Chains A and B, each alone.
Chain A
Amino acid sequence: DQQVKQNSPSLSVQEGRISILNCDYTNSMFDYFLWYKKYPAEGPTFLISISSIKDKNEDGRFTVFLNKSAKHLSLHIVPSQPGDSAVYFCAASVGGANNLFFGTGTRLTVIP
């Protein structure tokens, strides 16, 4: 049973515009959320995280928003660049535990 869901398998955005990637979860015990970026033939690389005591975390062009009541988080990339084209995975855990639950990923294409 998929506890973390990314319902959009793909997203295309013009260079310079905002990319918004969405993620929903079902387990209300999740309190730590992460976003990873993955290029083809490479391992995922960590982008940004947020704990449930916050509703927003920002790192440069990347901002993650957490809406606990809706069990929803989103990753905003502003401005989008062609190098951002990759598959993005969201993930969640309970209490910082080792068991990390991943979504199925969203392929972002940034069009020059």
Chain B
Amino acid sequence: DVKVTQSSRYLVKRTGEKVFLECVQDMDHENMFWYRQDPGLGLRLIYFSYDVKMKEKGDIPEGYSVSREKKERFSLILESASTNQTSMYLCASRWGGYNEQFFGPGTRLTVL
């Protein structure tokens, strides 16, 4: 079974803090993704990575950066957290081609 794990289920941070969200997958997938989910907006892609050290912007990359130093690990970084980044953050991974994405359990981030 594919397993995607995220470092925290719930996180509370203050405005202006630097926030790291970590994601690890155990299936040797080359592709990894970060989404945020907000009510009425569905899932929106922030960034994805198709290989170590490679990244591509998604639909809403502003205010975020990512890091992929190892194949199994993909980090999302909020350089200076703001209240409008309060959201559910979902990590996913997959093989290439016509294959589904496997999601982690999500991190509920609240920025005060």
Residue numbers of A with Cβ under 8 A of B are 6, 9, 32, 34, 36, 41-46, 49, 51, 89, 91, 96, 98-100, 102-105
With both chains docked as a complex, state the minimum distance between the C-beta of B4 and any C-beta of chain A, in angstroms: 7
B90 close to A44 (CB less than 8 A): yes
A44 and B44 CA atoms in complex are apart in Å by 13
Interface of chain A, main secondary structure: loop
Interface residues of B in 38-89 (CB under 8 A from A): 40-45, 48, 50, 56, 58
Least Cβ distance of A96 to chain B in Å? 4
Q: How many residues of B contact A (CB 8 A)?
A: 29
B: residues with CB less than 8 A from A are 4, 9, 31, 33, 40-45, 48, 50, 56, 58, 90, 92, 94, 96-106, 108
